[in-house]
């Protein structure tokens, strides 16, 4: 393997891949973005030119090798170009979560010491300026969208188009230096630094090298036969490792096209217009889409309902088998083709999935019904398991071996082992270099041989070699009587009901399990409308007796299903309450990638937890909430607590 | 006191306000025996945000209707861009570069957001019925150009996601925004807003305020607005006219108006003789 820089053609950095793509696929479309209602596109050749102009512009602002460049904004071509331009001049791009509040941003900016910030618009610029007092290292801020910024002090604030123009004008001066810097990039230098959202404590900067990104992209692209001409929709946060791998790593490796939506709200329309061939979404997106389909079917006429039911039942029967290329009788095939004509085809078109060849979901467990629904339609939806520290891929499901309860076999080049305590360890070419300025955490996570602890407990199925994840290793515990406690397992069972958006289960070291439940406003709201239930607010709906009744049924049904699992039957939920507010990242209850921060929820709602275990029927509480603009407010509520029937519990009955 | 000379003035935040764009001279408006507006004079300067406030029934909307040409005052003169405006139909006023939104939303409920905003371009469309029907050559080029302008406005007001949605299906706050979009599409010199924040929650009000400031800043549009929410008015406007029972009882910067005894009385309720 070449460790040193680049004779022409050594593909050891993203800029090198860009140069190759411009040479080999120059006329192919590299980027599309919908602007003013029209899809604008850029070829690889045009992209290379734009990136070059940004790079030269950054040089004229005095960027040095090894500088950190923070990138803040929604998915836009110019921001992707900025990342590559930063790499071109030897700097390190650090994408940030755009919905982070100024406070969170300050920490990351200070931690990496970003001299340059590239921000999308006024909203982001305002946040950066607000923390600039504290984070003194920031020297220049470049913005894309000039709106509202005209009157700002421009001594250190620049419009992207001016930076590019300046770069183009100064190319004589910087061209040679730029070439020199680009040639000096080595395979083991940092490609990108991504901050993990951190379910506990401060975010950590994960340093990923060119080797990590390129090897991973190459392996995973080959695994799924990605090719030039594929289309992806880039809509997930740029600060998330998945977006970096899909929209930069794999996109540059295979030279496929990255499409950027017009605005976050138009994502579904844009999805339909683009019809991506390669698609990634967290389970939540699939859930929401399915919920919407079902809600709209409720409002359809009787004939349509009948048609939908008949063909969906058939699809459930033979769809997955057809997708896996298994034996299906001629009659069933004919009926499926008919269904495709009347139901599946139009439905897929509406959802924007007509052309999906490879679809992935990850991050959380996906409900089996949801998963099967999409697969039965003929959408090749698969699961993968990964994390930032692995440059995404640890395991993934090969075509033909897709199941909802496993996360697949080790990705190419990845070795797996299960620790004594059940924790999953891996080693791969994508394994991160280190946590930035944090050797201690690095040492705790990665051993000298390169094995990385995932923090998840799981096991490998002996027959198939597929990995199954049970829970976060540190969350798996024992109940007071010594029985196994795996909260995630129970929470997932609950979350698979469309009416339940989020659930948090407690029980470690306790006599029995209890749960907080968040209702799904879309699903429950629609149900309320159909049942003539009036409500004025989320809080009122959440506390409605009939909503409680419905959720109670779900909990009891889940209990019956949990009782079927010998090992975990102790985890049945004895008491629960419905929370008066949605768990929210702005209040710190979730990470920006929408994972529940268990400890924080436990601390914040300690009074509710106490009531759950104290045997009370209701509890009064006050909760501080943060609004989007950072102001704080309080909501007050009296919450009802319900007991749920537990099925066939071998030991005790709820202590009441 | 502001310098009321012809050269305009500079606002606190450094914006340059130009000369007089519109001047109302001794306007009196009667409906039968009722005097809705009594001998009111004030001016609106180029680039400023001018508010008209007052308690219910003070004659604010009537005043706006006089400016937009919907009502013809019995007495007084309206001067626009240095010329006395003869009696005009509202569409002629619109063609002069004055656009407005309404207190009670007046959109075409059955049409999409896009089509509604396109109607704002009507004054700019020159091709006839036949050409529009065939939709070739000039008519097509014209529509494309107008659509481009409309798309800028859609982008500006961040309503891309409802472009194709029928207006009837939108919540109130968004309808208000669509109405503003339609007015903006006409590229007005003077934009009249009749209670742009009425019935909105705090967040929607903040968004709307942001948009009003941005419109003024980005397009240099002069804005005259009626609003009930005092906080909003004082934050947004450069100068305020206060009306009560059809009379002008105050005129000046928000600070001047706030300390004006007549205004305080009008709002706190002192008996009228």
Quick: pLDDT tens for A260-296: 999 988 998 999 999 999 999 988 889 888 888 888 8
| Distance (Å) of CA B152 to CA A78, A411, B158, B183 | 19, 46, 10, 13
Q: Is the pLDDT of residue B3 over 70?
A: no
Average confidence (pLDDT) over B76-100 = 88
Residue of A nearest to B149 (CA): A36
Angle of the A44-60 helix axis to the A171-183 helix axis, nearest 10 = 100
Contact A37 B154 (CB under 8 A): yes
> Among all residues of chain A, which has the CA nearest to that of B214?
A148
**Which parts of A324-464 fold into alpha helices (H)?**
330-339, 345-351, 368-376, 439-445
- B152/A36 CB distance under 8 A: yes
pLDDT value at A414 more than 90: yes
Residues of A in contact with B156 (CB under 8 A): 147
Question: Lowest mean pLDDT: which of A247-251, A438-442, A633-637?
Answer: A633-637
Q: Specify whether the CB–CB gap between B196 and B101 falls below 8 A.
A: yes
Residue A506's contacts (CB-CB under 8 Å, 6 or more residues apart) are A487, A513, A514, A515, A516, A602, A609, A612
Query: Percent of chain A at pLDDT above 70?
Result: 96
**B30, B139: one domain:** no
Are B22 and B79 in the same domain? yes
Q: How far is residue B24 from each of residues B45, B94, B100, B232, B258, measured CA to CA in Å?
A: 12, 17, 17, 24, 23
Contact A37 B156 (CB under 8 A): no
* Any domain includes B181: no
Q: How far is CA A7 from the centre of its chain?
A: 37
Q: Which CATH architecture has domain A14-261?
A: 3-Layer(aba) Sandwich (3.40)
With 60 as the cut, is the pLDDT of residue B1 above it?
Answer: no
Helices (H), A275-344: 283-298, 302-323, 330-339
Q: Are strands A467-472 and A452-460 parallel, antiparallel or unpaired?
A: antiparallel
Answer yes or no: is B104 within a domain: no
Reference A238, options A125, A98, A416, A352; nearest CA is A98
Instruction: Band the pLDDT of A623: cuts 50, 70, 90.
Output: confident
ipTM value > 0.90 = no
Domain with CATH 3.30.300.30 in chain A: 478-643
| Average pLDDT of the residues of chain A | 90
Nearest Cα to A140, choosing from A206, A82, A101?
A82
Tell me how crowded residue A459 is: count the other CB atoms within 10 A of its CB.
Answer: 13
Q: For residue B136, what are the contacts with CB-CB under 8 A and spacing of at least 6?
A: none
In a shared domain, residues B214 and B238: yes
Query: Is B226 inside a domain boundary?
Result: yes
Architecture of the domain made up of A478-643? 2-Layer Sandwich (3.30)
In a shared domain, residues B92 and B199: yes
Residue scoring higher pLDDT (A67 or A568): A67
First to last CA, chain B: 29
Rg (chain A; Cα; Å)? 26
Give how far A127 is from chain B: nearest CA, Å: 17
DSSP class of residue A356? -
- The pLDDT, as a whole number, for residue B266 is 79
CB contact under 8 A, A36 and B155: yes
pLDDT number for residue A7:
44
Judgement on whether residues B70 and B123 belong to the same structural domain of the protein: no
How many angstroms separate the CA of residue B16 from the nearest CA in chain A?
12
B158 and B27 share one domain: no
Contact B13 A151 (CB under 8 A): yes
Per-residue tokens: B149: 């302008």
Domain residues for the domain of B87 are 9-97+188-268
Phi and psi at residue A262, to the nearest 5° = -70, -45
What gap in Å lies between CA A388 and CA A410, rounded to an integer? 16
For residue B114, the model assigns a pLDDT of 95
CB of A456 closer than 8 Å to CB of A471: yes
CATH code for the part of the protein at A406-474: 2.30.38.10
Rounded to the nearest angstrom, the minimum Cα separation between A501 and chain B is 24
pLDDT at A199 over 70: no
Distance separating alpha carbons of residues A655 and A457, to the nearest angstrom = 30
Q: Are residues B19 and B61 in the same domain?
A: yes
Chain A 306-365, residues with CB within 8 Å of chain B CB atoms:
none
Q: pLDDT band at B259, cuts 50/70/90?
A: confident
Closest chain A residue to B161 measured between Cα atoms? A266
Among candidates A147, A627, A629 on the partner chain, residue whose Cβ is nearest the Cβ of B214: A147
> What span, in angstroms and rounded, lies between the C-alpha atoms of A555 and A515?
9
Contact A566, A645 (CB under 8 A): no
Predicted local distance difference test score (pLDDT) of residue A198: 62
Facing residue for A263 by CB, picked from B160, B203, B218: B160
| B178 is a domain residue | no
Spell out which residues of chain A touch residue B214, defining contact as CB-CB under 8 Å: 147-148
Distance from CA of A168 to the nearest CA of B (A): 27
Intervals of CATH 2.30.38.10 along chain A: 406-474
Average pLDDT over residues A570-585: 91
Q: How far is B145 from chain A (nearest CA, A)?
A: 12
Per-residue CA distances from A311 to A213, A305, A308, A317, A547 (Å): 43, 10, 6, 10, 31
The answer to whether B217 contacts A148, with C-beta atoms less than 8 Å apart, is: yes
In our burial notation (b when 16+ CB lie closer than 10 A, e otherwise), range A509-537 reads ebebbbbbbbbbebbbbbbbeeeebebee
Residues of A in contact with B151 (CB under 8 A): 36-38
Looking at A184-260, list the stretches that DSSP marks H as alpha helix, in order from N- to C-terminal side.
210-223, 241-244, 251-254
Residue B49 located in a structural domain: yes
Q: Which residues in chain B have their CB less than 8 angstroms from residue A265's CB?
A: 160-161
* Closest chain A C-alpha to B155 CA, distance in angstroms: 6
The angle formed by the CA atoms of residues A499, A502 and A504, to the nearest 5 degrees, is: 130
How many Cβ pairs within 8 Å bridge chains A and B? Answer: 37
Q: Write out pLDDT tens, residues A140-153.
A: 999 999 888 888 88
**Cα separation of B84 and A387, whole Å?**
71
Chain B residue nearest residue A270, CA to CA: B161
Q: Is B245 part of a structural domain of the chain?
A: yes
Which pLDDT score is estimated for B209? Answer: 92
Please give the pLDDT value at position A19. 96
Under 8 Å CB-to-CB from A53, ≥6 apart: which residues? Answer: A164, A165, A167, A168
Tell me the pLDDT tens digit for each residue of A345-354.
999 999 999 9
> Distance (Å) from the C-alpha of residue A270 to the closest C-alpha of chain B?
10
In a domain, B19, yes or no: yes
For residues A573 and A491, give the distance between their C-alpha atoms in angstroms, rounded to a whole number: 10
Taking an 8 Å cut-off on Cβ atoms, the answer to whether A147 and B218 are in contact is yes
pLDDT, tens only, A25-71: 999 999 999 999 999 999 999 999 999 999 999 999 999 999 999 99
- Distance between CA atoms of residues A277 and B240, nearest Å: 57
Interchain pair B214, A148: CB under 8 A: yes
Tell me, yes or no, if A37 comes closer than 8 A to chain B by beta carbon: yes
- The verdict on B193 and B91 lying in the same domain is yes
Q: Which among A35, A37, A628 is the nearest to B163, CB-wise? A: A37
Judge whether residue A480 has pLDDT over 90: no
Instruction: Give the nearest partner residue to A37 out of B151, B156, B218, using CB atoms.
Output: B151
Assign A592 to helix, strand or coil: coil
Q: How confident is the model at residue A476 (pLDDT cuts 50, 70, 90)?
A: confident
Residues of A in contact with B152 (CB under 8 A): 36
Scanning every residue of chain A, which has its alpha carbon at the shortest distance from the alpha carbon of B160?
A266
Taking only Cα atoms into account, the Rg of chain B, rounded to an integer number of angstroms, comes to 19
Which is higher by pLDDT, A485 or A394?
A394
Buried-state track B38-59, b at ≥16 Cβ within 10 A, e below 16: bebebbbbbbbbbbbbbeeebb
Flag whether pLDDT at A655 surpasses 70.
no
Tell me which residue has tokens 């928000």. Answer: B254
Task: Flag if A148 and B156 touch (Cβ within 8 Å).
Answer: no
Which chain B residues have any C-beta within 8 angstroms of a chain A C-beta? 13-14, 147-148, 151-152, 154-156, 158, 160-161, 163-164, 203, 206, 210, 214, 217-218
Cβ contacts of A37 on chain B, cutoff 8 Å: 147, 151, 154, 160, 163
Q: Which residues contact A616 (CB under 8 A, 6 or more apart)?
A: A641
Assess A632–B contact: CB distance below 8 Å, yes or no.
Answer: no
Instruction: Categorize the per-residue pLDDT at A6 as very low, low, confident or very high, splitting at 50, 70 and 90.
Output: very low
From A145, which residue of chain B is nearest by alpha-carbon distance? B156
Q: Write out chain B residues lying below 8 Å of A266, CB-based.
A: 160-161
Q: How many CA atoms lie within 13 A of B212 on its CB side?
A: 33
In this predicted structure, what is the pLDDT of residue A590? Answer: 87
Chain B neighbors of A262, CB-CB under 8 A: 160
Task: Compare all CA atoms of chain B with the CA of A265 and give the residue at the minimum distance.
Answer: B161
- Which of B172, B197, B215 is the endpoint of a domain? B172
pLDDT given at position A635: 85
Confidence of residue B271 (pLDDT cuts 50, 70, 90): low
Chain A interface test: which of B113, B153, B161, B169 (most A C-beta within 10 Å): B161
pLDDT over 80 (residue B198) = yes
Is the Cβ–Cβ distance between A199 and A597 less than 8 Å? yes
**CA distance linking residue A309 with residue B170, whole number of Å:** 31
SS (H, E, C) B30-71: EECCEEEEEEEEEEEECCCEEEEECCCCCCHHHHHHHHCCCC
| CB contact (8 A) between residue B217 and residue A36 | no
Q: Identify all chain A residues contacting B144, using CB atoms and an 8 Å cutoff.
A: none
Q: Which residues of B touch A33 (CB under 8 A)?
A: none
| Dihedral sign for Cα atoms in the order A444, A112, A77, A183 | negative
Please state at what angle helix A521-530 crosses helix A545-563, rounded to 10 degrees: 120
Mean per-residue pLDDT, A462-471: 87
Is the distance from CB of A416 to CB of A474 less than 8 angstroms?
A: no
Confidence of residue A113 (pLDDT cuts 50, 70, 90): very high
- Tell me which of A37, A150, A273 to substitute to probe the interface with B (most B C-beta atoms closer than 10 Å): A37
Give CA–CA dist A416/A419, Å, rounded.
Answer: 10
B82 plus B134 within the same structural domain: no
Question: How much is the pLDDT for A495?
Answer: 85
Q: For all residues of chain B together, what is the average pLDDT?
A: 87
Q: How many domains does chain B have?
A: 2
Q: Which residue of B has its CA nearest to A37?
A: B151
Q: Are B158 and B194 in a shared domain?
A: no
With CA atoms as reference, the chain A residue closest to B162 would be A266
CA-to-CA distance for B143 and B114, rounded, in angstroms? 13
Residues B44 and B71 both lie in one domain: yes
Question: Same structural domain for residues B72 and B194?
Answer: yes
Q: What is the CATH number of the domain that holds B62?
A: 3.40.50.300
Q: How does residue A251 score in pLDDT terms, banded at 50, 70 and 90? A: very high
Which residues in chain A have their CB less than 8 angstroms from residue B218's CB?
147-148, 150
Closest CA to B195 of B106, B102, B119: B102
């Amino acid at each position: 393997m070449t460790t040193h820089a680049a004779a022409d053609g050594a593909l050891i950095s993203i800029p090198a891949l860009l140069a190759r793509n411009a040479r080999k696929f120059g006329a192919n479309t590299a980027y599309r973005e919908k602007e003013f209602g029209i899809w604008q596109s850029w070829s690889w050749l045009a992209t290379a030119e734009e990136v070059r102009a940004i790079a030269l512009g950054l040089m004229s602002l005095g960027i040095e090798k090894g500088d950190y460049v923070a990138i803040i904004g929604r998915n836009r071509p110019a921001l992707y170009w900025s990342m590559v331009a930063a790499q071109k001049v030897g700097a390190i791009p650090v994408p940030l979560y755009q919905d982070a509040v100024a406070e969170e941003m300050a920490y990351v900016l200070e931690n990496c010491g970003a001299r340059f910030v590239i921000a999308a618009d006024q909203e982001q610029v305002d946040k950066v300026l607000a923390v600039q007092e504290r984070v003194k290292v920031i020297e220049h801020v470049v913005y894309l969208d000039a709106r509202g910024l005209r009157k700002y002090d421009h001594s250190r604030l620049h419009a992207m188009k001016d930076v590019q123009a300046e770069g183009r004008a100064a190319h004589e001066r910087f061209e040679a230096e730029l070439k020199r810097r680009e040639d000096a990039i080595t395979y083991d230098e940092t490609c990108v630094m991504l901050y993990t959202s951190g379910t506990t404590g401060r975010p950590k900067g994960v340093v990923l090298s060119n080797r990590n990104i390129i090897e991973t992209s190459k392996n995973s692209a080959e695994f799924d036969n990605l090719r030039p001409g594929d289309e992806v929709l880039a809509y997930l946060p740029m600060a998330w490792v998945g977006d970096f791998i899909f929209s930069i790593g794999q996109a540059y490796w295979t030279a496929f096209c990255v499409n950027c939506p017009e605005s976050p709200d138009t994502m579904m329309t844009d999805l339909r217009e683009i019809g991506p061939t390669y698609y990634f979404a967290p389970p939540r997106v699939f859930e929401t889409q399915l919920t919407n389909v079902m809600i709209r079917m409720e409002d359809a006429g009787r004939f349509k309902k009948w048609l939908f039911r008949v063909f969906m039942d058939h699809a459930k029967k033979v769809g997955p088998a057809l997708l896996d290329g298994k034996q299906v009788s001629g009659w069933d095939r004919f009926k499926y083709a008919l269904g495709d004509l009347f139901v599946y085809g139009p439905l897929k078109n509406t959802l924007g999935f007509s052309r999906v060849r490879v679809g992935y979901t990850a991050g959380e467990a996906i409900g089996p019904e949801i998963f099967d629904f999409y697969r039965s339609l003929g959408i090749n939806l698969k699961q993968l398991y990964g994390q930032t520290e692995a440059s995404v891929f640890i395991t993934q499901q090969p075509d033909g071996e897709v199941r909802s309860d496993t996360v697949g076999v080790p990705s190419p080049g990845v070795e797996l082992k299960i620790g004594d305590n059940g924790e999953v360890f891996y080693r791969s070419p994508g394994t991160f270099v280190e946590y930035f300025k944090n050797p201690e955490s690095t040492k705790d996570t990665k051993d000298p041989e390169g094995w990385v602890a995932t923090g998840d407990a799981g096991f490998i199925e002996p027959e198939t070699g597929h990995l199954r994840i049970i829970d976060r290793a540190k969350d798996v515990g024992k109940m007071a009587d010594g029985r196994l406690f795996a909260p995630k397992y129970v929470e997932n069972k609950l979350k698979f009901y469309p009416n339940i958006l989020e659930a948090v289960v407690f029980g470690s070291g306790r006599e029995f399990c209890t749960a907080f439940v968040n209702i799904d406003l879309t699903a429950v709201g629609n149900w309320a409308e159909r049942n003539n239930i009036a409500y004025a607010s989320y809080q009122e709906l959440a506390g409605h007796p009939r909503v409680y009744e419905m959720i109670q049924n779900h909990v009891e049904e889940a209990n019956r299903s949990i009782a079927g699992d010998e090992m975990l039957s102790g985890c049945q939920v004895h008491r629960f309450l419905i929370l008066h507010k949605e768990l929210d990242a702005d209040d710190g209850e979730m990470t920006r990638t929408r994972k529940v921060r268990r400890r924080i929820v436990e601390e914040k709602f300690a009074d509710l937890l106490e009531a759950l275990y104290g045997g009370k029927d209701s509890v009064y509480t006050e909760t501080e909430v943060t609004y989007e603009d950072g102001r704080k407010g309080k909501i007050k509520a009296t919450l009802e607590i319900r007991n749920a029937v537990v099925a066939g519990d071998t030991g005790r009955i709820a202590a009441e | 006191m502001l310098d009321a000379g012809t050269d305009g003035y500079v606002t606190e935040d450094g914006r340059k306000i130009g000369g007089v764009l519109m001047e109302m001279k001794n306007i009196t408006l009667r409906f039968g025996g009722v005097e809705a507006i009594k001998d009111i004079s004030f001016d609106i300067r180029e680039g400023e945000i001018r508010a008209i406030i007052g308690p219910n029934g003070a004659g604010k909307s009537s005043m706006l209707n006089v400016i937009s040409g919907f009502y013809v005052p019995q007495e007084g003169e309206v001067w626009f861009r240095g010329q006395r405006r003869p009696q005009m139909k509202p569409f002629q006023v619109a063609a002069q570069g004055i656009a407005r939104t309404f207190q009670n939303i007046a959109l075409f409920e059955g049409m999409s957001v896009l089509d509604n905003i396109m109607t704002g371009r009507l004054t700019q469309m020159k091709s006839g019925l036949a050409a529009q029907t065939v939709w070739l050559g000039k008519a097509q080029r014209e529509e494309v150009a107008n659509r481009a302008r409309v798309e800028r406005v859609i982008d500006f007001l961040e309503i891309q996601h409802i472009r194709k949605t029928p207006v009837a299906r939108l919540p109130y706050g968004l309808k208000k925004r669509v109405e503003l979009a339609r007015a903006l599409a006409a590229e007005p010199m003077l934009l009249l807003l009749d209670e742009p924040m009425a019935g909105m929650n705090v967040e929607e009000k903040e968004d709307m305020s942001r948009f009003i400031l941005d419109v003024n800043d980005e397009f240099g549009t002069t804005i005259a607005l009626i609003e009930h929410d005092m906080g909003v008015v004082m934050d947004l406007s450069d100068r305020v006219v206060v009306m009560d029972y059809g009379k002008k009882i105050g005129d000046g910067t928000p600070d001047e108006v706030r300390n004006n005894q007549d205004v305080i009385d009008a709002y706190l309720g002192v008996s009228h003789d």
